[in-house]
Amino acid sequence: MKEIVTRHTIDHTQSVREALIRLDEIAPDSILFVTDGDKKLLGSLTDGDLRRGFIRGLDFSNHLLDFVQPTPACLKENAVDLKKIEEYRNNDFKVLPIVNSLNVIVDILVFSLQKTLIPADAVLMAGGEGKRLRPLTENTPKPLLKVGEKPIVEYNIDRLVNYGIKKISLSINYLGEQIESYFGNGQSKGIQIEYVRETEPLGTIGSILLVESFNHDDIIVMNSDLLTNIDFADFFKSYQESDADMAVAATSYHVDVPYAVLEVDDGTNVKSLKEKPRYTYYSNAGIYIIKTRLLNMIPKDTFFDITDLMDRVLEMNLKLITYPINGYWLDIGKHEDFKKAQEDIKHIKL
Per-residue pLDDT at 141 exceeds 80: yes
Across 249-254, average pLDDT: 84
pTM score, two decimals? 0.84
Q: Which residues of 147-167 are buried (b: 16+ CB within 10 A; e: fewer)?
A: beeebbbbbbbebbbebbbbb
pLDDT of residue 12: 94
The pLDDT tens digits for 91-134 are 889 899 999 889 999 889 988 888 898 999 999 999 888 889 89
Angle between helices 16-25 and 47-55 (to 10 degrees): 150
pLDDT of residue 236: 96
The pLDDT tens digits for 270-313 are 778 787 777 777 888 999 999 999 999 999 989 999 999 999 99
Across 143-157, average pLDDT: 94
Pairing mode, strands 278-291 and 246-256: antiparallel
Range scoring the smallest mean pLDDT among 38-47, 142-151, 277-286: 277-286
Angle at 36 between CA 32 and CA 39, to 5 degrees: 75
- Give the CA distances from residue 74 to residues 41, 71, 116, in Å, rounded to whole numbers and listed in that order: 9, 9, 13
Q: Are 106 and 78 in contact (CB under 8 A)?
A: no
Phi, psi of 329 (to 5 degrees): -155, 130
Could you tell me what percent of the chain has a pLDDT over 90? Answer: 63
Q: Enumerate residues 6+ apart whose C-beta is below 8 A from 336.
A: none
- Give the CA distances from residue 165 to residues 36, 81, 168, in Å, rounded to whole numbers and listed in that order: 28, 14, 7
- Give the CA distances from residue 274 to residues 249, 262, 266, in Å, rounded to whole numbers and listed in that order: 30, 7, 18
pLDDT of residue 18: 93
Structural domains of the chain in order of their starting residue, each with its CATH number: 2-110 (3.10.580.10), 121-344 (3.90.550.10)
Could you tell me what percent of the chain has a pLDDT over 70? Answer: 99
pLDDT of residue 234: 94
Helix (H, G, I), strand (E, B) or coil at 134: coil
User: What's CA 313's distance to the chain center, in Å?
Assistant: 24
Helix (H, G, I), strand (E, B) or coil at 23: helix
pLDDT of residue 77: 84
- Give the CA distances from residue 212 to residues 91, 209, 299, 339, in Å, rounded to whole numbers and listed in that order: 39, 7, 15, 37
Phi, psi of 199 (to 5 degrees): -90, -15
Across 7-15, average pLDDT: 92
Type of residue at 267: G
DSSP state of 308: H
pLDDT of residue 55: 94
Per-residue pLDDT at 16 exceeds 60: yes
Q: Which helix H or strand E contains 343, and what residues bound it?
A: helix 335-344
Given pLDDT bands bounded at 50, 70 and 90, which one contains residue 199? confident
- Give the CA distances from residue 134 to residues 74, 98, 105, 201, 345, in Å, rounded to whole numbers and listed in that order: 50, 46, 49, 20, 21
DSSP state of 299: P
pLDDT of residue 1: 55
DSSP per residue, 156-184 = HHHHHHHTT--EEEEEE-TTHHHHHHHHT
Average pLDDT, the chain: 90
pLDDT of residue 33: 94
